[in-house]
Amino acid sequence: MPKPTPRAVSAPEVADDEAVSVSTPSASASAQDAAPAQDAFGGASATAALAEVLVRLLERDGPVMRAESSLRRLLVQALGRELGLSAPQQDALGLAALLGDLGGSRGEPGRNLAITLQLLSGVALPEAAREALAHQYERWDGAGLPAGLREEQIPFPARVLAVARAAAALLGEGRSGAAAVVDELQRQAGSAFDPLVVSVLRRVFAQRERHGIGYGWGGRVAVVHPRELRALELAARLHGEGYATETAGTAAALRERLRAGAPQALVLGADIPDGDAAALVRELRGVAASLPVLVVDAADARRRVELLGAGADVCFPPDAEFPEVRATLDALLRRGEATFPREATLQLLEEPRDASRSARAAGVLGA
């Protein structure tokens, strides 16, 4: 039985420093489909924002929010921008990136894809989003799913999403930096992925500030705040920027979170109920000098001076805007891939419990 052949799409080969502009029938269709939706509710952008909230709920597991879908959205829209796609086309790709794992992210991709498409069968999506979703598992060499399309038979939006999906998955594992991810995808360019899109990914990573992609790369940020809704607000907004987050309300809960592994950074409320925040910062600094520590909601100058003296990198008053907090986090991470040493984490968690040997830790970490 012959394989279906969608509209062929040609993409020009370009040098690394040459601007890329791709106009495809699929992209044009997406713009036309998106146009009627540009109503008072913001059209495709509002739909994508709502989708991100719903996906965030799916990605939340207790105090933990995985970030692969948000990171995938950031990457696919950045690729679309570098490829010269219009804003509605970028929104359509972002929507597809968010909805791509609606049918599940574990197990057999074909089954997950079938569930995703079935769940969305009655939803009016832009054509580019629907094509990207339907063919995101196709391969450049024709060995993919569901139709075994190859090269330019694959709708262009799906080729872009495939690269973003693979990059986000590697970054989300936390074991690969940007350069290693590009190298890995470059090895698969021409077999799994469109070589043009992979070449543009390198440029996206080199200009991540321009594309609004921070330095978290899916890394984990621990948010410790005594007010649950405030902790959830900070975690959700960081999640939207591509960070995996987890929340805790007390120093003891933070200690429990650390058993699962080292965070990339810590956002700490100035007042924690079971210990002194300044003492907690000093304790952390003793075992993780390079861990970025941002303190929020420090109400008075004297308190902020105390926390900075204890080793906090920066302290924000309660009226600080989130973009400033996020920009500061990025600036601290820009200095290097700061990590909390695993051996130091274990040392902190496996302190002896008798009062004579662990009085300081008990006061600070609620042991």
Q: CA–CA distance from 146 to each of 6, 50, 51, 138 (Å)?
A: 13, 28, 24, 7
Average pLDDT over residues 316-320: 96
Contact 326, 245 (CB under 8 A): no
- Tens digits of residue pLDDT in 137-185: 999 999 999 999 999 999 999 999 999 999 988 887 765 678 889 999 9
Mean pLDDT in residue range 126-135: 94
Q: Which residue has the higher pLDDT, 73 or 307?
A: 307
In this prediction, residues 219-227 reach a mean pLDDT of: 88
Superfamily grouping for domain 25-30+43-206: Hypothetical protein af1432 (1.10.3210.10)
Given a cut of 90, is residue 211 above it in pLDDT? Answer: no
Q: What is the rounded CA–CA span in Å between residue 359 and residue 228?
A: 28
Domain 220-365: CATH architecture, name and number where available:
3-Layer(aba) Sandwich (3.40)
Structural domain spans, the chain: 25-30+43-206, 220-365
Is the pLDDT at 39 greater than 70, yes or no?
no
220-365 has the same fold as 25-30+43-206 = no
- What is residue 213's predicted lDDT score, i.e. its pLDDT? 73
Measured between alpha carbons, how far is 66 from 83 in angstroms, rounded to an integer? 28
Tens of pLDDT, residue by residue over 56-67, are 666 566 566 666
- pLDDT recorded at residue 156: 97
Query: Beta 64-65 vs 293-296: how paired, if at all?
Result: unpaired
